[in-house]
Structure 1
Amino acid sequence: MLAPLRGARWSLFVCSITHTFIHVFTMMHTALIPVFIREFNLTIFEAGLLVSIPLALSVSMSLPYGFITDRVDPRKLMILSLLMSGISGLAVSQARSFLTLLLPLSFIPLSSTIYHPPALTIVSELFSEEKRSRILGIHAAGGTTGVAIGPITLGLILERFGWRFSYFIWGLPVLLSTLLLLSLPAVKYVAHKERESEEDEAVIEDVEDSRSKIISRYFLLLLLAMGVNGIGQQALSAYMTTYLVSVRSLSESAASMLYGLSPFFGILGSLIGGYLGDRLGSKRWISTAYAGRILVYTGIWLGPLWLLVAVYLLGGFFGGSTMGPSTSLVARFSPKRRRGLAYTIFMLLPSLMGSVSPLIAANLIELYDITGLFPFAISSTLVSIILFQSLPEGRRKSVSYR
């Protein structure tokens, strides 16, 4: 058992590190929109295209990709994604026009779309189900770290070396990280041999009865619950810095710094949330974390200014804490042979919500004002909690200390 344990731990380490690298560019270009407008003499519409076109490309490729992800060696797909991200980052650093900037920026979200289904498929099979939420939480913490350190790096070197250097210095490590993936064993050797028999003994009849189907009704219910929550959450997130500046009277730099610090608390949330998902059950912890976010929304909206920073950062913790449990539920409610497709559909959801939510938010702001986003987000989160109660409880098994 010692050799398989070492192999599983090494595979988790490699997947977590590469998850960090695939996300270092995730938030950089949105932070640089004012810089791009000035340097490339862009209109507001053109600046918006730098955000919308990469997202649209990622969404359009997700489902076709999902149907092949279970038929290709996941290690090859992960290597492809990191090569695409690293080369795109280097290309962005050399961009001299709007088109030469837009093209590589469009491939960065696509590389993330390619990476996640095979990586999550590998990680979800490394340990027994009793540890799955915790292990996926560790993997999620790697991605959250990448989301956080990219903009922080940009902020540290922007004034002295310029924004291009931020893409250049991360492009090379992203490319080199592909070498780590060559050390991963084939998936069938990484996973527990008893995983097949464990899945055959599952007590959730809906999943068992739908083994020939791509997804089960519980998987659809999970998507619905998280989608309803995502609409409110992303609608509020899109205009959070605007709210902090216009209503809470923070300076633009202070609002941006607060916005950027939140992912750091998401790292801690990913680790603790994964552990609590295993101890309490994934469904129960997600419901608890969503209830915590309702308190966070209320505190940001109605709480005193002196409490704002603490409450806002607590929201980052709750947001990160659901990553491990939610991806664990995807594995639980999807057939093993189509798990890559299930993760593709699951990862497609945030992109879809991200394209719709800002439009909903804009209409709410026009009809009411920006504070109207808070009751909308609170209501959607509450509905999501109610939907989660329709999911079955986790199976009761003794904990494996593999």
Structure 2
Amino acid sequence: MDDRWSVTEAGPGADETHVLAFDEILASDRADLVAEVAGVVAAWPGVTAVESADWDVLLITAPGVPVARLTAAVDRWWSRAIGERRPWMDAMDRAAETVAGLAPGHRRDGWELTRVRDAELTQVITLDQDLRRESVLIRAGLRLSLPEREDFTVAHEAIGFGDDAALGAIITGQVLPALEALPSVDALLDRFRRQRDESLLHAHVLASRGRLGEAREIYQRVFERCQPRQRPHVLRLVAEFGVPPLSTGTHPHLTVGEEAVLAAWQAGTAERISRLRELSGLRLGGTRRSLDQLWGRLRDSPELFRDALAGAAPALPASFYGAHTRHDIEAGRAPFDPWHRETVELLTAYLGRFVLGRARDARWDLAADGELGLAGHGLLSRVFALTRAAFAAPREPLHPRRLRRLANDTILRVRR
């Protein structure tokens, strides 16, 4: 059996009896075989139905047929089919031959063409197939040795199989001019400078040229822009290239600014809870019942928060909401009005106090994606989602203990 696909029994209560699931990469690379195998399996003895649940999953109804028998049958068919020459392969070969004729100086190896410009830089044109869309993918870029291999893409296009006119236009009009403009690492560096690029690759190139001070400036900006989970990699690169150390927080995976905001947050939670107590008119004594009461106030009187916090100055930046929510905020898909943000911060402070009273080893910190939370588990975005539901219009029925449920779930997470 190919380790990139499997046949298993369907779960209890399912209409089908078996599930044939393919690895996503395999299903993408050989979409022709995945599509063909459905008809093949449907014709086998004992199989009464085959349905495609997704582009990489087939649902098979074959009562009484053992998994092992289906597995062996699929294995035999796949082993034979994978070695067969398919029409799209001929189309890919013709496309590669066309590119080779249009790109003198490039050496063809299958569906890849390369041109070595010097010891540091090789120009590469790669053709790939997208069988699901019946198209040829054209990628052109640079393969760098700095000293580790780095890749830089200069063009990426797609055309239909057999569209020689489009292929020729892309190669001569886009790919070759883009590659010709970058014959060396120094030319790439000049492009980065003109475009004010602040990528890791730009920093790598600068470091390879011994321009460590300039490299450090870009590494620093990359460090501050990326998520905490990504920062160990940046710090490792800085050390490997001999670049002067970056400025970090006391915890090396935090920026100086993040650590300052986090410290101010911890120092101000008591004040926020007092403000929430005053605003809601609730005692908020740290009980589970108080969470239910607070949730009811949010649902029943959203204008109370909207009016009272209209001129608020929230303390937490969008990055503290985690990567996914931050993207929604920056794309305008999620409300980020000051009064809403302030409501989220007040609720998070109280919810955190409640959790910390029951998980005393936990501490306020930032999760791997930069979200404010406890013991490495993000909390701010979950409170944000909760308030969006509470303030939604038209209002929908919501469980009266939803805030309590969030608190209980958070306690379980931080205790693990």
Sort the TM-score into its range (normalised by shorter chain).
under 0.3
TM-score of the two chains, using structure 2 as the length reference:
0.20
Higher share of residues assigned helix: 1
Which protein has the larger Cα radius of gyration, Structure 1 or Structure 2? Answer: 2
- Which is bigger in relative contact order (C-alpha 8 A, separation at least 6)? 1
Higher share of residues assigned strand: 2
